[in-house]
Amino acid sequence: MFGLHAVQALLTNQLPEKVWLQEGEAERRLAGLVDTLQERGVPIEFQPRQELDRLAGGASHQGVVAFCPPLASEGESRLYWEVEQAGNQGLWLVLDGVTDPHNLGACLRSADAAGVRGVILPRDKSAPLNGVVRKVACGAAEVMPVYQVVNLSRTLAKMKSLGVWIIGTSGDADKSIFDADFNAQVALVMGSEGRGMRRLTREACDHLVKLPMLGSVSSLNVSVATGICLFEAVRQQGISVS
């Protein structure tokens, strides 16, 4: 994981194995983080910027790289058990073919903020759970349950048999997201950045909805659209704000 805010968020949930900090002027800028790491007993190494650039793959690391165990995901059997425990109300997010790690990380962050029970991804048509995802998710990737499944349409059919309503998003749907009924246990399906949902995924949905577009653009980035749709579900489900 890399990036100051992402590492700071990580420290609220787990401790990295060690942290590399950029030597030189960045040491003074990161003094507060150094104090926190030392208090938590996290090993620190100061390295030249070139080494941090190499690990971050050229992305902005802000002078800090944390070494963490790989992000874990669950499988279908655990997902179905969680669905059965959820009862009559709950919210799941399904991402069908979101292959950009930045978008996946942003979706995980929105999902955590909206109280989503878990994010479901196809095993072969999704961005990897890598450092970019962790950086953009800013702490959400460590706490949001992720389920990777072999056959997404089959998984959705099984969830339907367990009482979950499947609501998919499509630009050519007749119904607005604001007319959908989220007062049940619902899985919201978002399609890929370019093509949207695949045919079999679309056919597995109980309802199709769209975001009304009132301006000159015809669509929104998938992570932006996901946030809007999730919080419409939050509004309908009457989750209190403390």
Q: Name the more confident of 60 and 236.
A: 236
CATH topology assigned to domain 76-237: Alpha/beta knot (3.40.1280)
Q: How confident is the model at residue 128 (pLDDT cuts 50, 70, 90)?
A: very high
Please report the pLDDT score of residue 118 as a whole number: 97
pLDDT band at 242 (very low <50, low <70, confident <90, very high): very low
C-alpha neighbours within 13 Å on the C-beta side of residue 127: 22
Query: DSSP readout, 166-208?
Result: EEEE-TT-SEEGGGS--SSEEEEEE-BTTTBS-HHHHHT-SEE
Q: Tell me what pLDDT residue 107 has.
A: 97
pLDDT at 102: 93
pLDDT band at 239 (very low <50, low <70, confident <90, very high): low
Better pLDDT: 114 or 125: 114
* Phi, psi (degrees; rounded to nearest 5) at 66: -110, 140
pLDDT digits (tens, 9 = 90+) for 139-170: 899 899 999 999 999 999 999 999 999 999 99
The per-residue pLDDT for range 63-107, each reduced to its tens digit, is 888 888 878 899 999 999 999 998 888 999 999 999 999 999 999
DSSP letter at 69?
A: P
Burial readout 19-30 (b: 16 or more C-beta within 10 A, e: otherwise): bbbbeeebeeeb
CATH architecture of the domain with range 4-67: 2-Layer Sandwich (3.30)
pLDDT value of residue 227? 96
37-75 residue pLDDT tens: 888 898 988 888 888 888 877 777 888 888 888 788 999
Find where tokens 């045919």 sit: 199
d(CA 172, CA 175): 9
pLDDT in tens, 163-202: 999 999 998 899 999 999 999 999 999 998 778 899 999 9
- Measured CA to CA, the distance from residue 172 to residue 189 in angstroms comes to 15
Question: Domain segments of the chain: what residues?
Answer: 4-67, 76-237
Q: Using an 8 Å Cβ cutoff, are 177 and 169 in contact?
A: yes
Question: Nearest CA to 133 among 166, 100, 90, 170?
Answer: 100
Q: What is the C-alpha to C-alpha distance for residues 104 and 207, in angstroms, rounded to an integer?
A: 23
